[in-house]
Structure 1
Amino acid sequence: MAIKFILSDYVDRAIAQAIYDKLEDGTFTGRIPVCKGVIAFASTLRECENELRSTLEDWILLGLKLGHSLPVIDNIDLNKEPSLEPMDTV
């Protein structure tokens, strides 16, 4: 039985769609087009990726808390209501 980490997979697959650009001043910007408003800036590409991941995580948590519809990424849909297993299956 394979263990699935839905939120981690969602973040990884969203980050895989990121677009990075080097700015005129030598710094970097990163964005995830499907996740509107998720953008980051940093002095190195690695820092930019880390900042983008952190921004994405905050964006997801806020979106879930506020009931916003999040984009489906690679068939991972965070908008579905969780299903609960009966206690006797634990």
Structure 2
Amino acid sequence: MEHKFVLTDYLKEAMALAVYEDLEEDGFAGRIPPCAGVIGFAPTLLECKQELRSVLEDWMLLGFRLGHDLPVVDGIDLNLEAISEPVESL
């Protein structure tokens, strides 16, 4: 599968792995198991899905900023390896 829009594809595939729980009177909870700490709560399932996507986006941005390894989702690997060039090539 070719990934033309890698970040969009990653978000889509990660959201497909989401697990939701009906909290009865307290609304819904959602989480994405491969993405540690990505969890959302909302009164309705639709709002929970929207909240979870927002949390996922923030989690990804923070991971990029802090240099954390993100889980590979559906073969999409967003982790970059540092490439160094010899000083004389500059």
TM-score, length-normalised on structure 2? 0.84
Alignment correspondent of 1:85 = none
Identity %: 60
Deviation at 1:25, TM superposition (A): 1.5
Deviation at 1:74, TM superposition (A): 0.6
**Alpha-carbon separation, structure 1, partners of 2:81 and 2:69:** 12
**Alpha-carbon separation, structure 2, partners of 1:80 and 1:3:** 16
SS of the residue 2:29 aligns to: strand
Alignment of 1:5-44 (within 5 A): 5-44=5-44
Deviation at 1:80, TM superposition (A): 2.3
Alignment of 1:51-66 (within 5 A): 51-66=51-66
- Judged with a 3 Å threshold, the aligned counterparts in structure 2 of structure 1 residues 3 and 30 are, in CA distance, closer, same or farther, namely closer
TM-score, length-normalised on structure 1? 0.84
Residue ranges of structure 1 left out of the alignment (5+ in a row): 83-90
Q: How many residues are treated as equivalent by the alignment?
A: 82
**Alpha-carbon separation, structure 1, partners of 2:80 and 2:13:** 18
| Residue type of the alignment partner of 1:15 | M
Q: Deviations over 1:45-76 (max 9, x none)?
A: 00000000000000000000100000000110
**Alpha-carbon separation, structure 2, partners of 1:3 and 1:76:** 8
- Give runs of ≥4 in structure 1 deviating > 4 Å: none
**Alpha-carbon separation, structure 2, partners of 1:51 and 1:38:** 10
**Alpha-carbon separation, structure 2, partners of 1:3 and 1:19:** 24
Alignment correspondent of 1:88 = none
Q: Deviations over 1:10-54 (max 9, x none)?
A: 000000000000003140000000000000000000000000000
**Alpha-carbon separation, structure 2, partners of 1:3 and 1:54:** 21
